[in-house]
Structure 1
């Protein structure tokens, strides 16, 4: 078991860059979609809220695996353009987790005390300036802890990309498993667990730093809960 560890570790580590790239790309798309859809959910315009609600409920209510298959296998047959596996994975990760993130944004914006809105109105700030200078800085502090959990969940969801043959950590492990003994299989799965744990801890550390900075900007003390 220990004799095979260096070989297994080096083979699985080759899958870390695609896993990280899918995670970073998925997080970037998630942030954009969460912000757009979340703010649309609190819009004064019913049509805007309705469109955003359809997006949120569709991607929250359907299987992430089926979404991946649709984008990678079905969509190219309909439009005549094949998306690369990693691109399809990033798109699904962003669309799916962006739907959950939209509710985080909506809840955080709604959580800003009404007195803050009224004070901004009293200062004759435009709706955009009220959102940008008063509401969002306070809402961001509320958003970051649940976004930490969401990003960790997104990281773990990158394992789905093995279904479209992206050469990430789980896919690399699948290539090693056949014809190995029980000891080597246990080592593979243990190393995979450790890799995901380390990446999750890095995300948590980065988000904790953002939480402290965001809280300091609005004169708050950040929460000290542990993300799961």
Structure 2
């Protein structure tokens, strides 16, 4: 019990540091949301390109997926922060010159590129998991590739890819902790590192950090499960969200 003797004082210190912790938490939430949205866009675009029958679309998609999936997030972050600005410094006429000095934006881009490459494989695999009969039906109806993707294939693949995208978004949340090394970006992990000095690492990281990151991951998981339930219901494969949340159980349909 001696381990917890100082914790009442630590809670008081935590309350005094609440403003810094909330600012860091808000930064982490923004990194997770913006990075997740960018990763989703990249995943869908590269996943559709990788699943395309056209080689000019499929080949560059495979190169980009393998490159950004194979590179370390830390290395990618350093490339964006320290290598990319060198090109803009040597060529002042290049567009978006000021954006390469926005460290928060670079963090979002690094997260989006890295996890978007992983997500692209989930999108491509989900497209190939759609029943062969659905593909054959679209071919029999002489649908264009874009039309059959929008109307038939992607809505079914959407329900299949959501569990994988949920895992990746939770991983992105935890990966956003790398932002504490980014200059001028103070995320929740950076705030916990500061809180560790007047308290200890067990209180700051193993208690406050564990609880907060767990709650954030739980929120993401529940939100994505609702999307999955909605997607399956629209395909006629499960109950609606209203039925799931209803306190009265629905009788089984025979």
Provide the TM-score with structure 1 as the length reference: 0.91
Structure 1 residue 122, shift from structure 2 partner: 2.5
- Aligned to 2:108, what secondary structure does the other structure show? helix
Out of 64, 69, 73, the position equivalent to 1:60 is 69
Residue matched to 1:85? 103
Contact 2:196 2:203 in 1 (8 A): no
Contact 1:19 1:168 in 2 (8 A): yes
Contact 1:85 1:161 in 2 (8 A): no
- Unmatched 5+ stretches in structure 2: 1-6, 90-96, 240-254
Out of 195, 202, 215, the position equivalent to 1:186 is 202
CA distance in 2, matches of 1:140, 1:19: 27
- 2:116 is aligned with 1:98: yes
CA distance in 2, matches of 1:146, 1:221: 19
| Deviation sequence 1:189-213 (CA, Å, 0-9, x none) | 1101111111000000100110010
Residue matched to 2:93? none
Q: Which has the larger radius of gyration?
A: 2
Structure 1 residue 6, shift from structure 2 partner: 4.2
CA distance in 2, matches of 1:123, 1:53: 29
Residue matched to 1:171? 190
Q: Which moved more, 1:121-130 or 1:17-26?
A: 121-130
Contact 1:34 1:99 in 2 (8 A): yes
Residue matched to 2:214? 197
Contact 1:12 1:192 in 2 (8 A): no
Residue matched to 2:53? 44
Aligned pairs, number: 219
| Deviation sequence 1:172-221 (CA, Å, 0-9, x none) | 1122333x35xx33110110111111100000010011001000111113
- Unmatched 5+ stretches in structure 1: 223-228
CA distance in 2, matches of 1:158, 1:8: 22
Out of 23, 26, 33, the position equivalent to 1:17 is 26
